[in-house]
């Protein structure tokens, strides 16, 4: 399917690997010129080079921490204007609700709520002026069904979800569609580190931890960054112009709800 976005300009955050990279790859395959970001210079530079080579688009890497004001300023300077924004950052560590300090919550809010809000505040007004834009925020299935050990994530992402629910309706009339994409378990480094956490906690080996987590998913498998990226690119397409303020769960059926 032609997504109708060839020649558009996009920013994908936290994209040297994992879900962010999946989104960058799929947008590049649709002909979108990109700025991509993550903290480690060598990795983001290599990823940008590989995506540009594979898809024949321009990909500009920016090594910066997207959760800091200074990092975002560097990224936004490289972007100038964007038609497409994919917000993303690393997820908070697992833990116990009794232990989380105010600083832990502030860090989680900065990473998984306020950085996305700041990027939308910087880029969506330009999209509205030009009469076209797409924003996809990578959140988590924990927005629909809490994961107790990831309480910092549950809290911060719920805040972002509430913000998007309101503002997405305010900007839709200017041709800008803002939606959230909620990953269930996908085979990335983040999933590997959560597998390791289960292995340690339950005193089992990594394969058994993975088997147990896979058994919680009706498909019996983890998702892939490619699956995730394809859905992200569709949400950024011309065809998605009527999808506004939605929370789209990509979880292989793991969250057991009717709607
Ligand atoms: P991943 O494979 O570990 O990749 C994370 C990417 O983000 C890397 O490119 C990393 O590069 C970059 N990054 C991390 N912190 C950053 C920061 N502060 N500023 C800029 N870049 C940063 O993780 P993932 O699985 O793709 O997860 C992406 C998001 O989805 C996370 O918030 C995660 O919690 C959420 N999620 C994932 C799953 C899953 O199963 N994979 C499920 C639910 C939710 P550098 O380290 O070099 O910066």
Q: Tell me: the pLDDT tens digits for 153-180?
A: 999 999 999 999 999 999 999 999 999 9
Output the pLDDT for position 142. Answer: 95
Output the pLDDT for position 179. Answer: 99
pLDDT digits (tens, 9 = 90+) for 115-136: 999 999 999 999 999 999 999 9
Residue 38 CB less than 6 A away from ligand 1: yes
Which of 16, 40, 76, 90 to mutate for ligand 1's pocket (most ligand atoms within 8 Å of CB)? 90
pLDDT higher than 90, residue 194: no
Q: Output the CA 131–ligand 1 centroid distance in Å.
A: 31
Reported as a pLDDT band with limits 50, 70 and 90, residue 105 is very high
> Which protein residue's CA is at the shortest distance from atom 46 of ligand 1?
39
pLDDT higher than 90, residue 151: yes
Give the per-residue SS3 of the chain.
CCCCCCCCEEEECCCCCHHHHHHHHHHHHCCCEEEEEECCHHHHHHHHHHHHHHHCCCEEEEECCCCCHHHHHHHHHHHCCCCEEEECCCCCCCCCCCCCCHHHHHHHHHHHHHHHHHHHHHHHHHHHHHCCEEEEEECCHHHCCCCHHHHHHHHHHHHHHHHHHHHHHHHHHHCEEEEEEEECCECCHHHHHHHHHHHHHHCCCHHHHHHHHHCCCCCCCCECHHHHHHHHHHHCCHHHCCCCCCEEEECCCCCCCCC
% of the chain residues with pLDDT over 90: 97
pLDDT higher than 90, residue 70: yes
**Cβ–Cβ < 8 Å for 143, 161:** yes
* Mean pLDDT, the chain, whole residue set: 97
Q: How many Å apart are CA 121 and CA 157, to the nearest integer?
A: 17
pLDDT higher than 90, residue 12: yes
Output the pLDDT for position 43. Answer: 98
Reported as a pLDDT band with limits 50, 70 and 90, residue 254 is very high
Q: How many Å apart are CA 167 and CA 53, to the nearest integer?
A: 37
Output the pLDDT for position 190. Answer: 85
pLDDT digits (tens, 9 = 90+) for 200-240: 999 999 999 999 999 999 999 999 999 999 999 999 999 99
**pTM for the model:** 0.97
Residue 161 CB less than 6 A away from ligand 1: no
Report the nearest atom of ligand 1 relative to the CA of 112.
32
Reported as a pLDDT band with limits 50, 70 and 90, residue 149 is very high
Q: What separation in angstroms does the CA of 227 have from each of 7, 195, 232, 234, 236?
A: 23, 20, 9, 11, 15
pLDDT higher than 90, residue 137: yes
Residue 113 CB less than 6 A away from ligand 1: no
Report the nearest atom of ligand 1 relative to the CA of 71.
19
């Amino acid at each position: 399917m032609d997504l109708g976005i060839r020649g558009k300009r996009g920013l994908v955050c936290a994209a040297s690997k994992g879900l962010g990279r999946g989104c960058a790859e799929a947008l590049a395959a649709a002909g979108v010129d990109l700025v991509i970001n993550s903290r480690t210079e060598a990795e983001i530079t290599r990823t940008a080079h590989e995506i540009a080579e594979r898809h024949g688009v321009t990909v500009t890497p920016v090594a910066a921490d997207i959760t800091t004001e200074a990092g975002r300023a560097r990224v936004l300077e490289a972007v100038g204007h964007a038609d497409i924004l994919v917000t993303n950052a690393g997820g908070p560590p697992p833990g116990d609700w009794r232990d989380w300090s105010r600083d832990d919550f502030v860090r989680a809010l900065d990473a998984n709520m306020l950085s996305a809000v700041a990027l939308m505040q910087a880029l969506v007004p330009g999209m509205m002026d030009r009469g076209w834009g797409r924003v996809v925020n990578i959140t988590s299935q924990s927005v629909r069904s809490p994961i107790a050990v990831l309480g910092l994530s549950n809290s911060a992402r719920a805040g972002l979800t509430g913000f998007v629910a309101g503002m997405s309706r305010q900007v839709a009339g200017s041709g800008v569609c803002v939606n959230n994409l909620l990953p269930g378990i996908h085979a990335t480094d983040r999933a590997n580190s959560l597998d390791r956490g289960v292995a340690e906690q339950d005193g089992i080996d990594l394969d058994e931890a993975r088997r147990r987590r896979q058994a919680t998913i009706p498909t019996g498998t983890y998702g892939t960054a490619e699956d995730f990226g394809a859905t992200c690119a569709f949400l950024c397409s011309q065809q998605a112009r009527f999808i506004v303020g939605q929370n789209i769960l990509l979880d292989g059926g793991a969250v057991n709800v009717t709607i």
